[in-house]
């Protein structure tokens, strides 16, 4: 993978450009916010919960093509020069399989990038060496219920969970992160996440830029104290209700990143790995984007967008050809101003691309990328409605997460194809939280198979804010997370195939999720 370099480093103590602009997102803050007495440095642990028995030993009748050990550990990372920042991270070791399966991300707290192929059988030993329980979820992957990292399978300190599954997904940019109930936000924030890239024959046939020309980039915002240590939930209840926002953007775990490129075509895979921040990604010079993929892999054909709206957990893949750009020129990726109604985001830098060398060869953008094999709206067997409601805290249809609790209206016959409608237009219907009676965007995520976004409706009160982001939605591809803006109703269509058992759907604003804006659905 191409090494990212640091330039124009911003000293922690003297709020530089990136920090100042990020901070401007918060109207009350004009520069880097120092740690206030009430802020809790990581890690903060919860009292131990009652744990299910550790998982069984690997099964004898599962023959893996790839075997990996992942360990969640307390460690340090160098994010700023001469500062060791305490992080929690996932370390990996390839036990069996092709060497390229596991690629460490240099100079980063990120877990290794896992590269697998559709059809491969994978065994992963996850060992938790943290002082609290954890479990890993393969975000976007279609795996059996007990291999999905459901919070009920969280393992305690010193315990191991063994995953065995076949990679059934089409080629795409998936990722992995912890999923213990109530602690997903702090664990992801502390550094636990990694890419899970799947390839297949269809992707090979598209002849896309590969190797060093295929670059996964994760956007994450963080907040640091004067000692360069991560700070989480400094504003307590308010951060939980709104979602936690940092004031320092990190790309693949580093601040102020410059990406050196050759003057040729690249495939950039963008993942929003932030707890709650939404990005409106644009080229500073106004160039449009050529989008080739979403959460669940390649689009049928490339589409153009003026900017990219990237909500937490969403992925967008772009094709960008630097051919024709002059040597040593720079191109800047920024997050453009937008509003969600409640919250205004100003412009801030994301990444600088530096065209540092000529290319010896190039590839052409294919007209056709893949056959997504979408369902038709007429395939839908029923419609379920999920209201996103503030009722003391964030809820789904007025309910919060129960470890194994599930209702009739969350019980789905195996292999059913259904429409789920997420409704976020209930402003004013919330119960008595005074100033907390707010309307916020919610990135809704469903475990299991991917979905199509088949309809969006925005009401009059939400329209102005919606229009500051809506041209950046990419609804042409398979997705597993969809942003539902204030005043909006979004219908998604999907199959609930192959595996029975308990899976979850939730808001991927991790503070909302931890607060219980998450429910089981049960496939029977």
Residues that bind Cu ion (CB under 5 A): 139, 442, 447, 507, 509, 512
Among Cu ion, ligand C2O, none, the one that 519 touches (CB under a kind-dependent 5 to 8 A) is none
List, as own/partner pairs, every contact residues 30-33 make where C-beta atoms lie below 8 angstroms and the sequence separation is at least 24, other chains included. Answer: 32/247, 32/248, 33/223, 33/234, 33/247
Stretch that binds ligand C2O, among 378-386, 457-465, 487-495, 500-508 (CB under 6 A): 500-508
Contact status, residue 223 vs residue 18, Cβ threshold 8 Å: no
What is the C-alpha separation between 67 and 343, in angstroms, rounded?
Answer: 44
Supply the DSSP symbol for 28.
T
Radius of gyration of the chain (CA): 22
Q: Which does 179 bind (CB under 5 to 8 A by kind): ligand C2O, Cu ion, none?
A: ligand C2O
Q: How far apart are CA 137 and CA 156, in angstroms?
A: 16
C-beta neighbour count of 166 within 10 angstroms: 18
Site for ligand C2O in 99-138 (CB under 6 A): 137
Comparing every residue's Cβ against ligand C2O, the nearest one is 139
User: Is residue 177 within the footprint of ligand C2O (CB under 6 A)?
Assistant: yes
Supply 461's token pair. 């009160």
Q: Which of residues 420-459 bind ligand C2O (CB under 6 A)?
A: 445, 447
The least CB distance from residue 174 to Cu ion, in Å, is 9
Q: Are strands 214-222 and 265-272 parallel, antiparallel or unpaired?
A: parallel
With CB under 5 to 8 Å by kind, the binding choice for 512 among ligand C2O, Cu ion, none is Cu ion
Q: Which does 509 bind (CB under 5 to 8 A by kind): ligand C2O, Cu ion, none?
A: Cu ion
Determine contact, residues 175/105, Cβ cutoff 8 Å: no
Q: Exactly one of 136, 145, 218, 313 binds ligand C2O (CB under 6 A); which one?
A: 313
Complex with Cu ion: residue 137 or 305, whichever CB lies closer: 137
Residue whose entry in the numeric block shows the structure tokens 């809820």:
395
Sheet of 518-523, strands arranged across = 411-412, 518-523, 501-507, 442-446, 481-484
Size, binding site for ligand C2O by CB under 6 A: 10
89 binds ligand C2O (CB under 6 A): no
* Binding-site partner at residue 351 among ligand C2O, Cu ion, none, CB < 5 to 8 Å by type: none
Q: Are 217 and 252 in contact (CB under 8 A)?
A: yes
Among 139, 142, 305, 489, binds ligand C2O (CB under 6 A): 139
Inter-CA distances, 426 with 42, 58, 181, 347, 470, Å:
35, 47, 26, 29, 20
| Residue 504 interacts with, from ligand C2O, Cu ion, none (CB under 5-8 Å by kind) | ligand C2O
Nearer to ligand C2O, 170 or 177 (CB): 177
Beta strands in 273-314 (DSSP E): 279-283, 289-294, 297-305, 308-310
Piece in contact with ligand C2O (CB under 6 A), picked from 8-16, 69-77, 316-324, 501-509: 501-509
Using the minimum distance from each CB to ligand C2O, give the nearer residue, 295 or 425. Answer: 295
Question: 270 has which bridge partners?
Answer: 217, 316
**Residue 491 found at the interface with ligand C2O (CB under 6 A):** no
Give contact residues for ligand C2O (rule: CB under 6 A): 137, 139, 177, 179, 313, 445, 447, 504, 506, 508
């Amino acid at each position: 993978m191409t090494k990212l370099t640091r330039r124009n480093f911003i000293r922690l103590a003297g709020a530089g450009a990136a920090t100042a602009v990020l901070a401007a997102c918060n109207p009350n803050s004009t520069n880097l916010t120092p740690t206030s007495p009430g802020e809790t440095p990581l890690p903060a642990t919860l009292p131990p919960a009652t744990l299910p028995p550790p998982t069984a030993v690997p099964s004898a009748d599962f023959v893996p093509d790839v075997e990996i050990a992942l360990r969640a550990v307390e460690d340090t990372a160098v994010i700023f020069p001469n500062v060791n920042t305490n992080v929690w991270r996932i370390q990996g070791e390839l036990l069996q399989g092709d060497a390229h399966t596991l690629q460490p991300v240099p100079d980063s707290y990120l877990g290794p990038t896992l590269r697998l192929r559709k059809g491969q059988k994978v065994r992963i030993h996850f060992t938790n060496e943290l002082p609290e329980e954890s479990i890993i979820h393969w975000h976007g992957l279609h795996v059996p219920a007990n291999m999905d990292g459901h919070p009920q399978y969280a393992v305690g300190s010193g315990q191991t969970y063994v995953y065995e599954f076949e990679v059934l997904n089409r080629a795409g940019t998936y990722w992995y992160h912890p999923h213990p109930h109530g602690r997903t936000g702090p664990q992801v924030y502390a550094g636990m996440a990694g890419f899970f890239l799947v390839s297949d024959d269809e992707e090979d046939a598209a002849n896309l830029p590969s190797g060093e020309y295929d670059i996964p980039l994760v956007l994450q915002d963080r907040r640091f104290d004067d000692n360069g240590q991560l700070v989480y939930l400094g504003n307590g209840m308010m951060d939980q209700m709104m979602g936690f926002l940092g004031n320092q953007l990190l790309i693949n775990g580093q601040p102020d990143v410059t990406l050196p490129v050759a003057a040729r075509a690249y495939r950039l895979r963008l993942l929003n790995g932030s707890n709650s921040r939404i990005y409106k990604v644009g080229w500073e010079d106004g160039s449009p984007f050529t989008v080739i993929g979403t959460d669940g892999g390649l689009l049928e054909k490339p589409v153009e967008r003026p900017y990219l709206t990237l909500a937490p957990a969403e992925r967008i893949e772009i094709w960008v050809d630097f051919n024709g750009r002059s040597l040593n020129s720079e191109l800047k990726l920024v997050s453009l101003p937008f509003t969600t109604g409640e919250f205004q985001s100003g412009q801030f830098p994301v990444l600088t691309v530096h065209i540092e060398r000529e290319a010896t060869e190039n590839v052409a953008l294919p007209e056709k990328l893949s056959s997504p094999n979408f369902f038709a709206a007429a395939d839908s067997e029923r419609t379920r409605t999920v209201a996103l409601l503030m009722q003391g805290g964030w809820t789904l249809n007025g309910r919060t997460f129960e470890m194994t609790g599930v209702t009739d209206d969350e019980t789905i016959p195996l292999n059913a194809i259904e429409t789920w409608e997420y409704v976020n237009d209930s402003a004013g219907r919330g119960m008595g939280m005074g100033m907390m009676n707010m309307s916020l965007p919610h990135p809704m995520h469903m475990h299991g198979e991917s979905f199509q976004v088949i309809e969006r409706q925005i009401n009059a009160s939400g329209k102005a804010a919606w229009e500051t982001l809506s041209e950046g939605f990419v609804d042409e591809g398979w997705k597993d997370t969809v942003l539902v803006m204030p005043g909006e109703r979004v219908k998604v269509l999907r199959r609930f195939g192959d595996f029975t058992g308990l899976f979850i759907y939730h808001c991927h604003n991790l503070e909302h999720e931890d607060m219980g804006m998450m429910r089981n659905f049960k496939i029977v």
